[in-house]
Amino acid sequence: MGGNPAMRAGLALVVVVVAVVVGDVGAALPRFAEAPEYRNGEGCPAAVAGAGVCDPGLVHIAMTLDAHYLRGSMAAIYSLLKHASCPESIFFHFLAAADGGEGCGGGVGELRTAVAASFPSLRFEIYPFRADAVTGLISASVRAALEAPLNYARNYLADLLPKCVPRAIYLDSDVLAVDDVRRLWETRLPAAAVVAAPEYCHANFSRYFTETFWSDPQLGDRVFAGRRRAPCYFNTGVMVIDLRRWRVGNYRRRIEVWMELQKEKRIYELGSLPPFLLVFAGEVEAVDHRWNQHGLGGDNVLGSCRPLHKGPVSLMHWSGKGKPWDRLDAGKPCPLDHTWKSYDLYIAEGDSSSASAPFALSSSALPAAAFSW
């Protein structure tokens, strides 16, 4: 699913691209190569003059952006553009810590410069997210990284994005698309649904909450009674969200109520996921599992290697402790990390040989079943 013939021909001409060394970004941000440029093919919606972000033909993708995970974000953006049939019709909405996050650089201005240097034609906006909006609601988690305020920024998408944006695909920074994201964008959301995502009903749903939760007569099964379906686990790293319905239903506040209760009595152990499950489990519109082949980062403790799940693949997700860039740098990559590497725009310190964009793998680099529709 590498786009139309003209786009593929364009890529063939851009095998080696001169790296862009981002100026005035500061030592905290790594360097990245400039990615190949992709153009819309035939059949893409014509841009509406003067509409900007409100253009009804746009596909809206929301992601967080910070210095620590910037390498993953750059690879994700590259993969989304490469496999899109209408890459110029994608608008990226990035949520970044208003203060730069943890005092390590990577402020909004620096991040904007870095993204624009690697993707000169990218349509995007960065929205500063104030950590104090959620800091007082965050509880200790099984892994410290899950406690970062930016992990909760997805709760505030409907407050931060322009009101004219009807829906958004939210993606974590540790994903790779190997299919046209417009297919996911066109997911049908029935009137009763606010969120669409792949569900995993074989997973042990009860383990996402503590004994305190299940034994409380006011909580437990009573929370999920009367929902459209039995509650199932879903991963919040890939979601299609109807922002208008979210605002009308005040779902941000519904999530915050559960976070406030968690401060009073410990009803779950994982960071930002359980409040979403408490609000949406049993009400999620199911999406094909191909759109979130998750868990490739292993569990939250060891981060061990895991293979792809059975079935076709449209999006790979390194959720879990192990991130492909860390394992590659440590010289201990998992087999699938090499697929991620083909989209890595990172230029290692003092490495002049990496001063070109990688040649991203085509669909033929994955099992044939990965792209069957």
Please check whether residue 342 is in contact with residue 78, taking contact to mean a CB–CB distance below 8 angstroms. no
Mean pLDDT confidence for 132-144: 81
pLDDT digits (tens, 9 = 90+) for 82-125: 999 999 999 999 999 987 655 455 799 999 999 999 999 999 99
Residue 4 has pLDDT above 90, yes or no: no
Q: Does residue 149 lie within any of the structural domains? A: yes
Residue among 362, 357, 372 at smallest CA distance from 37: 357
What SS3 class is residue 326?
Answer: helix
Q: Which residues contact 327 (CB under 8 A, 6 or more apart)?
A: 303, 333, 334, 337
pLDDT digits (tens, 9 = 90+) for 192-246: 899 999 999 999 999 999 999 999 999 999 999 999 999 999 999 999 999 999 9
Q: What pLDDT score was predicted for residue 92?
A: 98
Residue among 123, 146, 143, 117 at smallest CA distance from 134: 146
Q: Does residue 251 lie within any of the structural domains? A: yes
Which CATH number belongs to the domain containing residue 310 in this structure?
3.90.550.10
Q: Which residue has tokens 């949406």?
A: 280
16 pLDDT band (50/70/90 cuts)? very low
pLDDT digits (tens, 9 = 90+) for 30-43: 999 999 999 998 99
Q: What pLDDT score was predicted for residue 362?
A: 52
Please check whether residue 4 is in contact with residue 41, taking contact to mean a CB–CB distance below 8 angstroms. yes
Phi, psi (degrees; rounded to nearest 5) at 356: -155, 155
Residue 2 has pLDDT above 90, yes or no: no
Q: Does residue 193 lie within any of the structural domains? A: yes
pLDDT digits (tens, 9 = 90+) for 304-362: 899 998 899 999 999 988 999 999 999 999 999 999 999 999 999 877 644 456 656 55
Considering its fold, how many domains does the chain have in total?
Answer: 1
Q: Does residue 110 lie within any of the structural domains? A: yes
Residue 5 has pLDDT above 80, yes or no: no
Q: What pLDDT score was predicted for residue 197?
A: 98
Q: What pLDDT score was predicted for residue 10?
A: 41
Q: What pLDDT score was predicted for residue 15?
A: 30
List the domain range (segments joined by +) for residue 138.
Answer: 57-340
Q: Quick one: tokens of 229?
A: 């379906």
Q: What pLDDT score was predicted for residue 20?
A: 37
Percentage of the chain modeled with pLDDT above 90: 75
Count the neighbouring beta carbons within 10 Å of the beta carbon of residue 14.
15
Mean pLDDT confidence for 148-174: 96
- Contacts of 151-154 with C-beta under 8 Å, sequence gap 24+, read 151/64, 151/271, 151/272, 152/271, 152/272, 153/64, 153/95, 153/129, 154/62, 154/64, 154/95, 154/236, 154/239, 154/272
Q: Does residue 234 lie within any of the structural domains? A: yes
Q: What pLDDT score was predicted for residue 367?
A: 47
Q: Does residue 324 lie within any of the structural domains? A: yes
pLDDT digits (tens, 9 = 90+) for 259-300: 999 999 999 988 899 999 999 999 999 999 999 999 999 876
The DSSP line for 17-42 is -PEE--TT--TTSPEEEPPPP----T
pLDDT digits (tens, 9 = 90+) for 49-71: 999 999 999 999 999 999 999 99
Q: What pLDDT score was predicted for residue 148?
A: 87
Q: Does residue 101 lie within any of the structural domains? A: yes
Q: Does residue 1 lie within any of the structural domains? A: no
Burial classification of residue 366, based on how many CB atoms lie within 10 Å of its CB (0-12 exposed, 13-18 middle, 19 or more buried):
middle
Q: How far apart are CA 53 and CA 155, in angstroms?
A: 21
The predicted model scores a pTM of 0.87
Q: How far apart are CA 116 and CA 147, in angstroms?
A: 29
Q: How far apart are CA 234 and CA 279, in angstroms?
A: 12
